[in-house]
Amino acid sequence: MNAAEQLLMNAINMQGVGKRYGDHQVISELDLSIASGESLAIIGHNGAGKTTLMKLILGLARPSSGRIELWNQAVNGGSLQGRDSIGFLPEAVSFHGGLSGRDMLRFYARLKGETPGQCDELLELLGLSDAAGRAIRTYSKGMRQRLGLAQALLGKPRLLLLDEPTSGLDPFLRQHFYDIIAQRQAAGATILISSHALTEIEAQTNRIAIMKNGRIIIDGSLSQLRAAAALPVQIVLTAAPGQRDALFEKLARERGVNRVGSEQCELLCSDTDKVSLLHRISAPQYAIEDIQVNPPRLDDLYAYFVNSDEQP
């Protein structure tokens, strides 16, 4: 199969997948497809089934029902060919504390048939070169997390499964992490991320799937989720000094106007009315010093869909 054919193939296909532990149904009738080279974020409450979903994809757990395929090949709990094309970063990274970071990474490299030179490259990429010779027990949580990511990146896997990958990372390292993931996706890797960090994930993936009680209740791009929720857009207007009361009076005929702060007014409108509203309030008589347009954030969308009575 050539590179073009691989890109046309879905990396993951899940049809009617269920997982039960005794009387507890963790995953229920789940359908999900992820195209090769695509990135998808799975978000949901604790116990929604996100980690179980990753275990099923990895073949670490067997589905109670349904079918899972990776690159059109069934996952059956152990015999998947090309397993070395998958990189996995678990939520709780655990390494032998007595080994150095370099020795631990080289151990995983031998399991994957990779060279020690690649270990040094990854340690440099993740900012761990200076600590590579130190025992892992001396590492901070963030350093262990970066070592875990280096392990997941060994062999330049075609599929990356990342469970809460930025846990323990400061804001600078979180952005560096997403830069690395974007580079791997640009090179053709498929990315599946499970995360609670909604504010950081919304601009980092092609699609977002929201899980609730073992089901995916909605799946789409951020713009598609916004369209489905139809939540209002917030427009914050900063009045010229001393003009807020006058601005508020002029805006009184508009729906959803509120006073905010000492010199600001807030307007709520639908996305379809946004442009016409901005056109109206841009007239000189409104004495507006600044306009800020805030579409619904992923936090707002998540709360809407999870709490909607129509959702399971």
Contacts of 224 (CB under 8 A, 6+ apart): none
End-to-end CA distance of the chain: 40
Both 99 and 118 in a single domain?
Answer: yes
CA distance 183 to 190: 11
> Where a domain ends, among 211, 227, 243?
227
CA distance 87 to 106: 15
Both 24 and 85 in a single domain?
Answer: yes
303 lies in a domain? no
Q: In the sheet that 24-35 helps form, which strands lie side by side, from edge to edge? A: 24-35, 10-21, 65-70, 73-74
What's the CATH code of the domain at 239?
3.30.70.920
Collapse the DSSP code of 92 into the 3-class scheme (helix H, G, I; strand E, B; otherwise coil) and give the result.
coil
Two structure tokens written together for 278: 């901005």
Both 70 and 9 in a single domain?
Answer: yes
> Where a domain ends, among 198, 227, 256?
227
Both 18 and 151 in a single domain?
Answer: yes
Q: What is the H or E stretch that residue 221 is in?
A: none
> Which pLDDT value is given to residue 312?
45
310 lies in a domain? no
Q: Which tens digit of pLDDT belongs to each residue from 189-238?
A: 999 999 888 888 888 899 999 999 999 999 999 999 999 999 999 988 88
Number of domains within the chain: 2
Both 196 and 98 in a single domain?
Answer: yes
Q: Is the pLDDT of residue 78 over 70?
A: no
257 is in which domain, residue-wise?
232-295
Contacts of 250 (CB under 8 A, 6+ apart): 285, 286
CA distance 176 to 161: 18
> Where a domain ends, among 207, 227, 247?
227
69 lies in a domain? yes
Q: Which tens digit of pLDDT belongs to each residue from 255-304?
A: 667 666 667 878 888 888 888 888 877 776 777 888 899 999 999 999 99
Are 78 and 55 a contacting pair, CB within 8 Å? no
Both 174 and 260 in a single domain?
Answer: no
301 lies in a domain? no
> Which pLDDT value is given to residue 178?
92
Both 97 and 205 in a single domain?
Answer: yes
Both 272 and 213 in a single domain?
Answer: no
Both 144 and 66 in a single domain?
Answer: yes
> Which pLDDT value is given to residue 2?
47
Q: Are strands 233-239 and 86-89 parallel, antiparallel or unpaired?
A: unpaired
What's the CATH code of the domain at 131?
3.40.50.300
Both 206 and 97 in a single domain?
Answer: yes
Percent of the chain with pLDDT over 90: 55
